[in-house]
Copies of this chain bind each other. A is one copy, B any other.
Amino acid sequence: MGIIGGGQLARMCAGPAAELGITLSVLAESDEASAALVVPSSPVADHTEADAVHAFARHCDVVTFDHEHVPPHVLELLVAEGVQLHPRPEALTYAQDKLAMRERLTELGIPCPRWARASTSADVTAFGDQVGWPVVAKTPRGGYDGKGVRVVGGSSELADWLERASTDGTGLLVEEWVPFRRELAVLVARSPSGQAAAWPVVETVQTDGVCTEVLAPAPDLDVGLSSSAVHAALRVAGALDVTGVLAVELFEVGEDGGDPSFVVNELAMRPHNSGHWTMDGAVTGQFEQHLRAVLDLPLGSPRPHGRWTVMANVLGGDLPDLYPAYRHVMAHDPEVKVHMYGKGVRPGRKLGHVNVLGDDLGDLRARAGHAADYIRGVVTE
Q: List residues 1-49 of chain A with CB under 8 A from any CB of chain B.
A: 11-12, 14-21, 23, 37-40, 42
Judging by beta carbons under 8 Å apart, are A297 and B37 in contact?
no
Closest to A34 in B: B18
The reply to whether A297 and B330 contact each other, CB–CB distance below 8 Å, is: yes
**Contact among B15, B37, B40 with A15 in the assembled complex (CB-CB below 8 Å):** B15
Structural contact, B18 and A38, CB atoms closer than 8 A? yes
Query: Which residues of chain B are within 8 angstroms of A338 by Cβ–Cβ distance?
Result: 19-20
Q: Please, how many angstroms separate the alpha-carbon atoms of A378 and B14 in the complex?
A: 31
Complex CA gap A105/B24 in Å reads 45
> Closest CB of chain B to A65's CB: distance in Å?
19
Of B284, B306, B331, B341, which one neighbours A305 at CB under 8 angstroms? B306
Distance to closest chain B CB from A342 (angstroms): 5
A166 proximal to B (CB < 8 A):
no
Task: Report how far A341 CA is from B17 CA in the complex, Å.
Answer: 11
A20 smallest CB distance to B (angstroms): 6
Report the bound CA distance from A197 to B330 in whole Å.
Answer: 14
Indicate whether A361 reaches chain B with its CB closer than 8 angstroms. Answer: no
| Interface set, chain A 272-302, CB cutoff 8 A to B | 279-280, 283-284, 292, 297-301
> Across the interface, do B339 and A19 meet the contact criterion of CB distance under 8 Å?
yes
Distance between A22 CB and nearest chain B CB, rounded to angstroms:
9
Residues in B with CB closer than 8 Å to A339 are: 19-20
A38 contacts B14, CB within 8 Å?
A: yes
A113 within 8 A of B: no
* Min C-beta distance of A24 to chain B, whole Å: 8
CB of A334 within 8 Å of the partner chain: yes
Interfacial chain B residues near A301, Cβ < 8 Å: 334-335
Given A40-B42, A298-B330: A341 touches B21 (CB 8 Å cut-off): yes
Q: Is the CB of A16 within 8 A of B15?
A: yes
Determine if A330 and B19 form an interchain contact, defined as CB atoms under 8 angstroms apart.
no
Asked if B283 and A298 make an inter-chain contact with CB atoms under 8 angstroms apart, the answer reads no
Distance in angstroms between the alpha carbons of A335 and B302 in the assembled complex? 9
> Would A300 and B330 count as touching, CB distance under 8 A?
yes
Chain A window 160-204, contacts with chain B (Cβ cutoff 8 Å), 1 for yes, 0 for no: 000000000000000000000000000000000000010000000
* A337 CB-CB contact with B under 8 Å: yes
Output the nearest chain B residue to A332 by Cβ-Cβ distance. B298
Q: Which residue of B lies closest to A299 (CB)?
A: B334
Question: Restricting to A241-281, which residues have a CB under 8 Å from any CB of B?
Answer: 279-280
A304 CB → nearest B CB, Å: 10
**In the complex with contacts A38-B40, A40-B40, A342-B21, A327-B15 CB distance below 8 A:** no
Which of B16, B300, B337 interacts with A334 by CB under 8 Å? B300
The answer, yes or no, to whether A352 is at the interface (CB within 8 Å) is: yes
Verify if A357 is at the interface (C-beta below 8 Å from B).
yes
Interchain nearest-CB distance for A368 vs B (Å) = 14
| CB-defined A-B contacts under 8 Å, sample of 7 | A14-B18, A19-B337, A21-B352, A37-B40, A39-B40, A40-B40, A284-B334
**Besides the known contacts A19-B279, A38-B40, 5 further A-B residue pairs in the complex with CB atoms under 8 A apart:** A12-B18, A21-B352, A37-B40, A299-B330, A301-B335
